[in-house]
């Protein structure tokens, strides 16, 4: 009998996965953010530049992963953790320079809570990606994750708004958030224009986060119900 000479695909080693190009980009993003937050009050513009470059790399690493066939679960988790930590740190800073600070802390809780629940519900459903929402009945939720350009706009708008508010804040003084937003509408500076232009995309992303949290929570509850129904 002839032997099957077809070679089996070679499994990557643990180290090789850690050293995937998109994962190296992820490590670089983490280091960049650490340095950015270390100098955020001493050099605001450099901080914003580094923070935004790190944010842009979030899109580049996904493209690189698909281009070189280096998509990995570790990379997806690393990507999300880096995103959530960097946004959380910026929101904590904003909560210290604006009043009421609870607004930014609430946004932080919503951001982390909705993404954590979405990731966990994804594993319960056996899906490969938390962005797979084809079976959702909510049109906005499907439009957000189904259209890369729309999702990118909302994400960019959200980060630009937070960066702009940070630039508008004055070191050593606390400002009322609504006063700054009203002043931004009337002023004609570049930062003020960015605040106004980013408000719509920011609002859409927060709405999607709320929908995401509710949808993911429903998956977890239904999972519990189905377990109890089994004999």
Positions marked catalytic? 83
Q: 3-state SS of 170-182? A: CCCCCEEHHHHHH
Burial 19-43 (b: 16+ CB within 10 A, else e): ebebbebbeebeebbeebbeebeee
Burial 130-143 (b: 16+ CB within 10 A, else e): beebeebeeeebee
Q: How far apart are CA 185 and CA 63, in angstroms?
A: 36
The SS3 assignment for 217 reads helix
With beta carbons less than 8 A apart as the criterion, state whether 178 and 103 touch.
no
């Amino acid at each position: 009998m002839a032997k099957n000479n077809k070679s089996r695909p070679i499994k990557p080693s643990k180290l090789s996965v850690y050293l995937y190009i998109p994962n190296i980009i992820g490590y670089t993003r983490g280091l960049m953010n650490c340095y950015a937050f270390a100098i955020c009050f001493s050099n605001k513009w450099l901080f914003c530049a580094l923070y935004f470059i790190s944010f842009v790399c979030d899109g580049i690493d996904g493209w690189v992963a698909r281009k070189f066939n280096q998509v990995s679960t570790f990379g997806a988790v690393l990507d999300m953790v880096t995103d959530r930590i960097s946004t959380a740190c910026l929101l904590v800073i904003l909560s210290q320079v604006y009043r009421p600070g609870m607004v930014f802390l609430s946004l932080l809780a919503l951001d982390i809570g909705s993404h954590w629940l979405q990731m966990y519900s994804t594993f319960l459903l056996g899906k490969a990606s938390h962005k797979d929402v084809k079976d959702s009945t909510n049109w906005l939720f499907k439009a957000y994750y189904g259209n890369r350009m729309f999702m990118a706009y909302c994400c960019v708008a959200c980060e630009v708004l937070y960066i702009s508010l940070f630039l508008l804040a004055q070191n050593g003084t606390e400002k009322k958030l609504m006063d700054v937003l009203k002043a931004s509408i009337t002023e004609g500076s570049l930062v003020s224009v960015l605040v106004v232009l980013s408000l719509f995309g920011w609002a859409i992303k927060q709405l999607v986060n709320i929908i995401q949290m509710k949808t993911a929570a429903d998956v977890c509850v239904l999972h519990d119900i189905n377990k109890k129904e089994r004999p």
